Structure 1
Amino acid sequence: MRRLPRVITISVLVATFSLPAGCGSGTEEPSPARPAADRVTYVTGFGTFGREAYVYVAQEKGYFREAGIEVTVQPGQGSGENLAAVLGGRAQFSAIDFTATLISAANGKADGAVAVAALHQRTLAALMTLEGSGIGEPADLEGKTVADAASSVISMMFPAYAKLTGVDREKVKWVSLEPAQLAANLASGQVDAIGQYVVGEPTVRNAAKGRKVTVLPFGEVITDLYGSAVTTSATLAKDRPDLVRKFTGALLKGLAYAVDHPQEAAQILLKRQPAMNAESAAAELTLMAPYVRPSGGEPIGAMSRERVERAITALRTAGAFETAPTPESVVAFDLLPAG
């Protein structure tokens, strides 16, 4: 539990919702030949990078349409903001890092939010820096400046990560940037490191014009953590379990297709988000594939009460919180994908 990480160096409740579409959003057009569909808003985990392509795949392939759902997609700003969108009714579903949900729940800021499927079976949280930054291991972070989105799970997790790696977190300066600004600010030397999912390395390397990227993965220090999870409100989970199951099933179908066909998924993303880099997007999806499917033949999206309990214990032991949430308060186990 206390071992230092390996440093990797590499080159809504009814169908009558009326919901606004955000910048860069995608909405399926209703067909007059079919009944009125349930209309929901989905917020991506973090911007519109390659790792988020699966929701656009689910739209493009008609998986949502087949389930009788019309989906508006809005770019996410990080777990904290995404959680607020779900709890405030601005979105019915979002990709939210499950560790952020646990930490927020322990602090009384996630009451009424529940995970209904794991998008990643292991946490992807990490810090990234570039060759020449002077950062090669966690201790080197002291005296440096780290940037991330204001409500990112990585900043939430950092105190526990610092404790377990012996870093004085008071000696690390954090600044807030928008998701799209992180890689560019790192490449230009405005900051020394950034919070990123491990799958974001190709995007960071592309922004840095091929410079080597050093990755400090949190999951090698804080074990048993899930990554992002499809999250909704407890009210919607209770009142419309059919809608939750249909949406989750269609989204996970898109996820499976995206990681199995990363090049095609990247092109689909590019149609919806022309500013994205298709090569980096495909590379992100390729890196994400091992994190998506559970071991032991369980279905994509699976979560277990025992594993959630272990994650809670790991975070509490690491000092992330004192009063722990119960697994049932943060996961709707009856709505998880069944094999």
Structure 2
Amino acid sequence: MRRLPRVITVTVLVATFSLPAACGSGQREPSQSRPAADRVTWVTGFGAFGREAYVYVAQEKGFFKEAGIEVAVQPGKGSGENLAAVLGGRAQFAAVDFTATLISAAAGKAEGAVTVAALHQRTLAALMTLAGSGISRPKDLEGKTVGDTASSVIRMMFPGYARLAGVDASKVKWVSLEPAQLAANLASGQVDAIGQYVVGRPTVSNAAKGKEVTVLPFGDVVTDLYGSAVTTSREVATGRPDLVRRFTGALLKGLAYAVEHPQEAARILAGEQPAQNAEVAAAELTLMAPYVRPAGGAPIGTMSRQRVERAIAVLRTAGALEEGLTPESVVSFDLLPKG
């Protein structure tokens, strides 16, 4: 199961459903042919970087409107906080790294959360550093400082990754940073490495102004893991399965469009988030495309019970999970995209 890492050089059903106006209020009730849209909140996986553009594409292209849904978008700060938002009813849907869901569920911290579609068919988790840091392989992380958000999946995964990669995790210092601070702190030398999705290389390279970027992908060491996934509460999944299917259908349609038209998707993102660089965002989406589509022509968003079982087994071997976790406890297989 272990293999040498490769280095590549070069982010309660509280859905506010619209209700008919009261009689005599002077407002017209929605007609039966055009019911009021369901209003939900979506939390992005990590900030508003290019990799998150697909939700804005789904809005701009009218995919959510066609599904009868109005979506408020909130930039996320990492999988841990995103899980808390869903479980606390502050959002109905969120992008949560599936490995974070598994680790949190095994620790009893994700009870009531359920995955309903995969955004990435393989993990994008990685560490990034720059030329001159002295880091070119996992073992070089010992004695170094790594920056990441406090609730990042990369931080959750690191002890298991370190064990399989032969790294003494106790010799690595972690500091907490906000998503927008990561690349800048790495570029300025405040930290030696940062937690980052592999698709974040263009963002890091842009901040580093030409310095060579080194990527250490976790997927080279910890195999069989999905990446980010659409996550909701079990209450929403069981109480409003039609809403879940409509939302995920529209969101995944936006995801497919975004990776097929990265420049257009990047312009849409920049229109909603002016601080984002459209060229960098398009590069992120281009890198993300191979991670989105499943092998064999299966529909985007699909997951298999067998792969979830393998992911659980791999994480147990890495020491990240205890016994007792089952695929059905974290995935609603009946709500996954069927094609």
TM range (shorter): over 0.9
Can you list the C-alpha shifts for 1:291-332, whole angstroms capped at 9, x where unaligned?
000001100000000000000000001100223411001000
Distance 2:35 2:234 in 1: 27
Distance 2:170 2:87 in 1: 31
Distance 2:70 2:193 in 1: 39
Output aligned runs, 1:1-339, within 5 Å. 1-10=1-10, 13=13, 16-17=16-17, 34-339=34-339
Offset of 1:15 from its aligned partner? Answer: 6.1
Distance 2:60 2:130 in 1: 36
Q: Which residue of 2 aligns with 1:25?
A: none
* Partner secondary structure for residue 42 of structure 2: strand
* Contact 1:316–1:324 (CA under 8 A) maintained in structure 2: no
Distance 2:203 2:161 in 1: 24
Across the aligned residues of Structure 1 and Structure 2, the Cα RMSD in angstroms comes to 1.4
Structure 2: give runs of 5+ residues left out of the alignment.
19-29
* Partner secondary structure for residue 275 of structure 2: coil
Q: Look up the equivalent residue of 1:60 and give its one-letter code.
A: E
Distance 1:199 1:221 in 2: 18
Can you list the C-alpha shifts for 1:28-84, whole angstroms capped at 9, x where unaligned?
xxx999431100000000000000000000000000000000000000000000000
* Contact 2:115–2:231 (CA under 8 A) maintained in structure 1: yes
Offset of 1:17 from its aligned partner? Answer: 4.7
Please tell me whether Structure 1 or Structure 2 has the larger radius of gyration of its CA atoms: 2
Distance 1:257 1:42 in 2: 18
Rate the CA distance shift 1:182–1:16 in 2: closer, same or farther, 3 A: closer
* Partner secondary structure for residue 337 of structure 1: coil
TM-score (norm 2): 0.94
* Partner secondary structure for residue 222 of structure 1: coil
Q: Look up the equivalent residue of 1:220 and give its one-letter code.
A: D
* Contact 1:45–1:75 (CA under 8 A) maintained in structure 2: yes
Query: Alignment identity in percent?
Result: 82
Q: Which residue of 2 aligns with 1:23?
A: none
Distance 2:101 2:300 in 1: 20
* Contact 1:15–1:37 (CA under 8 A) maintained in structure 2: no
